[in-house]
Amino acid sequence: MSMLHLQVTIDNHSGFCFGVVYAIEMAEEILDEQGHLYCLGDIVHNDEEVKRLEKKGLKIISHEDLQRLTEEKVLIRAHGEPPSTYETALRNNLELIDASCPVVLKLQNRIKNSYDKADKIYIYGKHGHAEVVGLLGQTNREAVVFQDLNELNLSELPPRITLYSQTTKSTDKFYAIKDQLEAAGIQVDANDTICRQVSNRDKELRDFARKFDVIIFVSGSKSSNGKVLYNVCRETNANTHFISKVDELNMSWFEPGQTVGICGATSTPMWLMEEVRDQLLTV
C-alpha cells in the first residue's frame, strides 16, 4: 500500500547524449551477433549500464590489455582515442569499431590542423580524462592542458595562443577564461568546440530543479559531467540528493504528497531513472 503518495516526474532532457546512444547501439548490435566484444575503457561512466552490457558479453579492457590483444574487434567509445591506439590496432590486426562522438572527432581534426600549423595550443579540460588524452595525442602530447587558469603562469605564456576546450566543459567558464587571458595582454584564437547538448543542460536543469520539492539526481560516481550537473541542481534546489542506484534511495528524504523530480547526467541510462521512479511510486 502506497503511504507517501509521491508525485514523480523524470526530466525528459536527461539521459544519454547522442554520442553515448550511438556507442551503446553499436556495441549491442555486435554483442547480439557474436556474443562478445572488447571495449577500450568504460563505454560510459555509469557502473550500472556497464554491468548490464557486461552481462551481454562486453569486456572492458585497458590500454595495457590492448597491447596484448590480437585478431579481435575492439570498440572505441564516444570519448575518442589518440593516434597511438589506431597504430596499436594496425600492428595487432585488431578491427576497431569506432564509436567516437562526431563532436569529438571534429575537435580532434581541428586540433591536429592547428598543430600542423605550429600553433601554441592550450586545452581547457580535465587532466587524464579519456577525451583529453585523445586530444593531446593529436599534438604529439605537446599541447598544454589546464583545468584552472591558476595552473598557468600568465607572464610566461606566448603572446599568441590557440585555445580549445574539452567538449563537455561549461561554455560560460570557457569564455571567462578567454576574457582573463586577453585582459592579461595575450592574443587568443578561441575555438568554442563545446557540445551544446551538454552545455545547455545547465539552464534546462535549473528550470527542472525549481519545479519540485525534492530532486533525485542519478549518476555514476565516475562521471565528471554528473558531478557538475548535480551541483547545478543542488544550487537551485537544496533538497537535491545524489544516487548511483536504486538501493541508495533513503525514504527519510521524503514527506507524504511531495513532488519529486528525477534527473541525471549525459551518462545516465533512462532505464535506471525509470527504476528509481518505479521504486518511489511504491512507497
How many Å apart are CA 163 and CA 17, to the nearest integer? 25
| Closest to 245 in 3D by CA, of 48, 113, 87, 72 | 48
State pLDDT tens for residues 69-101: 999 999 999 999 999 999 999 999 999 999 999
Domain spans in the chain, listed from the N-terminal domain onward: 7-15+198-281, 18-100, 103-194
CB 56 within 8 A of CB 30: no
Condensed to tens digits (0 to 9), the pLDDT of residues 194-219 reads 998 888 888 899 999 999 999 999 99
pLDDT at 43: 93
The answer, yes or no, to whether residue 229 has pLDDT greater than 50, is yes
pLDDT at 105: 95
Query: What pLDDT shows up at residue 2?
Result: 53
Residue of 64, 71, 87, 131 with catalytic role: 131
**131 assigned to active site:** yes
Which of 48-52, 193-197, 253-257 is predicted least confidently? 193-197
Q: What share of the chain is helix, strand, coil (3-state, %, to 5)?
A: 45, 20, 35
Q: Is the pTM of this model over 0.95?
A: no
Q: At what angle are helices 201-209 and 224-236 packed, to 10 degrees? A: 40
Residue 115 CB coordination number (10 Å): 16
Mean pLDDT (whole number) for 225-229: 87
pLDDT score, position 30 = 96
> Does the domain at residues 7-15+198-281 carry the CATH identifier 3.10.20.440?
no
- pLDDT bin (cut points 50, 70, 90) of residue 108 is very high
Residue 177 has pLDDT above 60, yes or no: yes
- Pick the closest to residue 165 from 157, 153, 174 (CA basis): 174
Read off the DSSP letter of residue 262: E
Tell me if domain 7-15+198-281 and domain 103-194 are identical in fold: yes
Q: Give the count of alpha carbons within 13 A of 112, CB side only.
A: 11
Pick the CATH number of 18-100 from 3.30.450.20, 3.40.50.11270, 3.40.50.300, 2.130.10.10: 3.40.50.11270
Mean predicted lDDT score pLDDT of the chain: 95
Kindly report the CATH class assigned to 103-194.
Answer: alpha beta
